[in-house]
Amino acid sequence: MKRIERAKIVINILNRFYPTTPIPLKHKDTYTLLISVLLSAQCTDKRVNEITPRLFELAPDPISMIKLSQKKIYKIIHPCGLGEKKSKAIYDLSAILKKKYKSKVPNNFKDLENLPGVGHKTASVVMSQGFGIPAFPVDTHIHRLSQRWGLTTGTNVKKTEYDLKKIFPKAFWSKLHLQIIFWGREYCQARSCHGLICEICKKCYPNRKKSFVHS
C-alpha cells in the first residue's frame, strides 16, 4: 500500500470519528492561547486548563502579566512542571509583546519563534488555532502515530511534519493535527495499541503481526 493510500484511510476514519475538533486548551484570545500552549509542554491539557483560569484572571494580557512578576507567575503555574523555565519565558515574552508589538501576538512564524519559550510547534499551534492560518503542529505523539501508520520515514518531528504536509491537503492540516491527537489518546495509545489493535493501524497494515518498533 502506498503512503497516499494510507493517508486516505486516515482521513476517512478520523473524519468519521471526529467531524468537529474543539480546541482542547481553554483561552480567550491569541495571547491566552500562546501562554496555554507554552504551559502544555510536558504537561497535560487538563492540568493546564486547571491552572490558567487563576493566571488569566490576574493577568489576561501582557501588561498585567508583567505587573504580576515572574515570582508570582511561578507560584501559579508550577504544577504544570518546568515552572522556573516557563515562568521566565512567560514574563519575558510578555515584556517583548508590550514593547515591540503593542501587546499583540504577532501572526507570523518568524516573530513568534523569536519569542522566549516559543518553538516551532508552539508557533504552529498559535498560527493554526489562533489565527486560522494552515499549519501542521507535530509533537512526539503525532510523530509516533505517523510512524505507526506509515505516513513518514522521519526519525524526528521536523521530517515528519515535512512528510505529512506533502501527503495531506493544506486545508486539512489544522484539523488533522487535533484529530490525530484525539485518536492517539483514545484508540492508539503508546502502551496499548502497539500498531496492532486500533482501526487505523489494522487498515493501514492488515498483515502486521508484531508490535511496531519506533525509530
- Together in a domain, 36 and 122: yes
Q: What is the pLDDT of residue 212?
A: 86
Average pLDDT, the chain: 95
Same domain, 86 and 167: no
| C-alpha distances in Å from residue 211, one per residue of 75, 80, 110 | 43, 32, 40
Of the given ranges (124-128, 142-146, 150-154, 188-192), which has the lowest mean pLDDT? 188-192
Is the distance from CB of 160 to CB of 146 less than 8 angstroms?
yes
pLDDT at residue 1, rounded to an integer: 86
42 and 114 inside one domain: yes
Asked, for residue 55, whether it belongs to a domain, the answer is yes
Say if residue 215's pLDDT is above 80.
Answer: no
pLDDT digits (tens, 9 = 90+) for 53-96: 999 999 999 999 999 999 999 999 999 998 899 999 999 999 99
148 C-beta neighbours (distance < 10 Å), count = 25
> Does residue 215 lie within any of the structural domains?
no
Task: Please state, as a whole number, how many other Cβ atoms lie within 10 Å of the Cβ of residue 130.
Answer: 21
Confidence category of residue 213, pLDDT binned at 50, 70, 90: confident
42 and 108 fall within a common domain: yes
Question: Do 93 and 37 share a structural domain?
Answer: yes
Count how many residues are written for the chain: 215
Residue from 29, 41, 26, 53 nearest 141 by CA: 41
- What pLDDT, on a 0 to 100 scale, did the predictor assign at position 191? 84
* Same domain? 54 vs 114: yes
Looking at residue 45, its amino acid is D
Burial class (CB in 10 A: 0-12, 13-18, 19+), 65: buried
What is the Cα–Cα distance from 187 to 17, expressed in whole angstroms?
11
pLDDT tens, residue by residue, 163-180:
999 999 999 999 999 999
- Of 25, 5, 1, whose CA–CA distance to 177 is shortest? 25
What ranges make up the beta strands (E) of the chain?
Answer: none
186 Cβ contact list (under 8 Å, min separation 6): none
Q: What percentage of the chain exceeds 90 in pLDDT?
A: 91
In this structure, the answer to whether residues 141 and 123 fall within a common structural domain is no
212 domain residue, yes or no: no
Domain count, the chain: 2
213 falls within a domain: no
pTM for the model: 0.92
